[in-house]
Amino acid sequence: MFVEERQREILEFLHQNGKVLVKDLSERYQVTPDLIRKDLAKLEKEGLLKRTYGGAIPLIQNSVPQPADDSHENNIEVKQRIAEKAETLIRNGDTVFLDLSSINVEIARQLVRKNRNVTIVTNMINVLEEIPGESRVKLIFIGGKMNKLREGFTGAATIEWMSRFQFDLSFIGVVGIDLVRNSATTYEIDDALTKTGAIKISNKSYIVAESSKFNSTGNCRSASLNSFSGIITDAGLDPEIVEKLTQIGLQVLLV
């Protein structure tokens, strides 16, 4: 079989099944895994697919930014389970940073519901609105440049004020996760830089994201995956991805 014919079949197989794995293609065509990886690299360079750890998926278009209120209702049960798990990592007395993420709104709700003695630092208006005045949860809100779409603040002023803190934990939302490029991504550069700033001043930082985030991407790289302590996601995550994340050094918590 000619190389071009094999690559054309790989694309057809990809579009029929939604993903391809190097080991399966190697067995299918009786060629080495390295040769299949070269096929996938060439097809990715031509803009025909996106390589992932262990294989490839159809080319991912950049996610369309959604208003915070709209995105909050997507996969709400999964987000609540992730938030419940995140809450168990927080100790009384901790100072916790919650950035622009619909899952972080659920984490705030969990902390208020359980009347935890913690301090939340946030740049997200939706999180601010979840903390009633009579709650034991202390709130510190950080301003900066308003991001109207995400209903929060990002940029140089936000990063400067935030740098005065030392967080015990930070929970960071993402638009996409790219294992091939070892990157967590988001929509805008100011948000990316703000997330990076929070990670640097956190004793531990966790990605909070649905497993579907491994099939999407944003415009800006916020941090390398090994910058994080771990990830909290749903049990729909591919076991091979779990293994790769563990190899990188992340604690993987599935709910």
- Domains of the chain in start order, with CATH, are 3-58 (1.10.10.10), 68-254 (3.40.50.10470)
What pLDDT sits at residue 60? 60
Segment 169-190, tens digit of pLDDT: 999 999 999 888 899 999 899 9
Percent of the chain exceeding pLDDT 90 equals 73
From residue 134, alpha-carbon distances to 95, 102, 112, 131, 193 in Å are 18, 23, 10, 8, 33
Main-chain phi, psi angles of 204, to 5 degrees:
-140, 140
Which parts of the chain sit beneath pLDDT 50? none
What pLDDT sits at residue 205? 98
* Separation of alpha carbons 131 and 208, rounded Å: 20
Segment 209-247, tens digit of pLDDT: 999 898 788 889 999 999 999 999 999 888 888 999 999
What pLDDT sits at residue 62? 53
What pLDDT sits at residue 91? 98
130, two tokens: 């979840």
What pLDDT sits at residue 69? 58
What pLDDT sits at residue 226? 95
